[in-house]
């Protein structure tokens, strides 16, 4: 992402991004002006312009930065072993909805807008890279190929986000059961291959 002011204090910029993102999530895109953001940050509008250039740039940067942090929070709760996967499947949809519901609703408001759609494409390219890294980190712990974990992660995150947005238990349970069925098939195939080897 292009930084508008390369001379800015990056730690302070991150603080401002988080404050502004929370204000956006609470009030929505159209109901949040620069003055409201400046008041929440305890700076002047000129101060925000110095850091981010415009409201549009602030929207884009805050959304990308803060939603990447949400991913990190999500992965901090990732399963630590194959046996821990079921705990992860049961807990994370509800934890995601509780902790990050407003963030996901705002993110989709932003990236579904024609004004920000290209930025959304760039953000999700980064998601692909990050999910691959997460999958590679989990591969040894879960004793599964990274490609399989990455695919299951997409399916699971989609289920969590859909639940967060709409509290649709039926959709959630269908997705979770599809993941469980895939895991059972994965185990059965691993056992069959082991049997073929011996």
Q: Who contacts 63 (Cβ-Cβ below 8 Å, separation ≥6)?
A: 21, 24, 106, 107, 110, 111, 116, 119, 123
Q: Which two tokens stand for residue 96?
A: 């995601």
Model confidence pLDDT, tens digit, residues 93-122: 999 999 999 999 999 999 999 999 999 999
Q: Which long-range contacts (CB under 8 A, 24 or more apart) does 75-83 make?
A: 75/134, 78/134, 78/138, 79/138, 79/141, 79/142, 80/141, 81/141, 81/142, 82/142, 82/143, 82/144
Looking at domain 10-197, its CATH superfamily turns out to be: Tetracycline Repressor, domain 2 (1.10.357.10)
Model confidence pLDDT, tens digit, residues 138-184: 999 999 999 999 999 999 999 999 999 999 999 999 999 999 999 99
Phi, psi of 151 (to 5 degrees): -65, -45
* Percentage of the residues of the chain whose pLDDT score is greater than 70: 97
Please check whether residue 55 is in contact with residue 63, taking contact to mean a CB–CB distance below 8 angstroms. Answer: no
Domain ranges of the chain: 10-197
Q: Who contacts 135 (Cβ-Cβ below 8 Å, separation ≥6)?
A: 146, 147, 149, 150, 153
pTM of the shown model: 0.90
C-alpha atoms less than 13 angstroms from C-alpha of 95 in its C-beta half-sphere: 15
Please check whether residue 136 is in contact with residue 146, taking contact to mean a CB–CB distance below 8 angstroms. Answer: yes
Give the single-character DSSP code of 49: H
């Amino acid at each position: 992402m292009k930084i508008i002011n390369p001379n800015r204090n990056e730690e302070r910029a991150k603080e401002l991004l988080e404050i502004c993102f929370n204000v956006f999530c609470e009030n929505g895109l159209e109901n949040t002006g620069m003055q409201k953001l400046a008041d929440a940050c305890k700076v002047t509008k000129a101060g925000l312009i110095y850091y981010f250039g415009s409201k549009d740039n602030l929207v884009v940067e805050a959304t990308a930065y803060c939603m990447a942090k949400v991913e990190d929070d999500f992965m901090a709760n990732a399963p630590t072993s194959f046996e821990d996967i079921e705990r992860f499947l049961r807990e994370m949809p509800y934890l995601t909805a509780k902790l990050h519901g407003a963030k996901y609703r705002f993110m989709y408001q932003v990236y579904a807008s024609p004004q920000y759609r290209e930025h959304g494409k760039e953000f999700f390219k980064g998601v692909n890279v990050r999910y691959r890294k997460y999958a590679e980190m989990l591969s040894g712990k879960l004793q599964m190929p990274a490609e399989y974990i990455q695919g299951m992660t997409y399916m699971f995150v989609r289920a969590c986000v859909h639940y967060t947005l709409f509290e649709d238990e039926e959709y959630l349970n269908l997705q979770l059961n599809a993941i469980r069925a895939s895991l059972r098939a994965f185990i059965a195939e691993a056992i069959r291959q082991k049997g073929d080897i011996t």
